[in-house]
Structure 1
Amino acid sequence: MAFFLVSVVLHWYFGWEVFIDEQQAHGQPVQVSQYVAEMMRDTMENWQSEFLQLIWQVAGLAFLWYCGSSQSKEADDRMEEKIDFIIRRMEPEKAEQLLTAWKEKYPEK
């Protein structure tokens, strides 16, 4: 929170310095109301840009992760087949019972 507040204060301070320089360069009076309106616009543009980008990344990644990709499903299927093979080799008598029980407990999506 402190970092956020310091960054906002510095943003507005340096914005004020630039605003004064621009007003003086154009021979216009410095008006606080004009500065506040300009800085509010700039701040909202920055936040809108960053938050929209962040929301898209989080929501998009969550959606894609939820759906899963074909590559990740293939890797899971391959690994599952290898594990089934190992279980059948290590416990030949109980392997089918174990695999059936696990399939019921953890059904495929």
Structure 2
Amino acid sequence: MKNHDYRYKEVFHLERKGYLWFTLAFFLVSAVLHWYFGWKVFVDEQLSHGQPVETAKYITEMMRDTMENWQSEFLQLIWQVAGLAVLWYCGSSQSKEGDDRREEKIDFIIRRLEPEKAEQMLAAWKEKYPEQ
């Protein structure tokens, strides 16, 4: 059973990409609920005005509403946050610069505090946590 669990986690990268999967699921659930409740309001409005309920009209209206939401929210705030998170998560050169600088500072401190053991300690850590 353990081997099966491992393969499942490997295929979907659950441990490394859990945030991505959760965000995707959250997005899909919210989109489905948005369209579901939009349908309820659309049907009520059509019936209250004595007009027939037309699916094509509903889809056009919901696409317009969805695109307005995306334009105001996605393009302004979400892309800035999500774009930065994706670039940082993927290890872009912008995010790597900070990591490299921090690593170099830590290595310097270790060499100053433990000059005799520093290289041995750094080599052991490099083996335990290889660069990706």
**TM-score band, normalised by the shorter chain?**
0.5 to 0.7
Normalized against structure 1, the TM-score is what? Answer: 0.53
Q: Which residue of 1 aligns with 2:101?
A: 78
Question: Aligned pair count?
Answer: 91
For residues 47 and 106 of structure 1, the distance between their equivalents in structure 2, rounded to whole angstroms, comes to 48
1:85-104 to structure 2, matched below 5 A, reads: 85-104=108-127
How far residue 40 of structure 1 moved from its aligned partner, in angstroms, is: 3.1
Aligned residue number for residue 52 of structure 2: 31
Name structure 1 gaps, 5 residues minimum.
24-29
Shift of 1:104: 1.1
Q: What TM-score, normalized by structure 2, do the two folds share?
A: 0.46
Structure 1 counterpart of 2:60, one-letter code: R
Deviations 1:12-61 (A, max 9, x none): 465467658999xxxxxx333xx443113322x2587468x6xxx5x966
Q: Which residue of 2 aligns with 1:27?
A: none
| Gap change, CA 1:62 and 1:40, over 3 Å in 2 | same
RMSD: 3.8
Q: CA deviation at 1:102?
A: 0.6
The structure whose RCO (Cα within 8 Å, separation 6+) is larger is: 1
Contact 2:42–2:58 (8 Å) recurs in 1:
yes
Extract unaligned runs of 5+ from structure 2: 1-28
Identical-residue share of aligned pairs (%) = 52
Structure-1 separation of matches of 2:58 and 2:96: 49
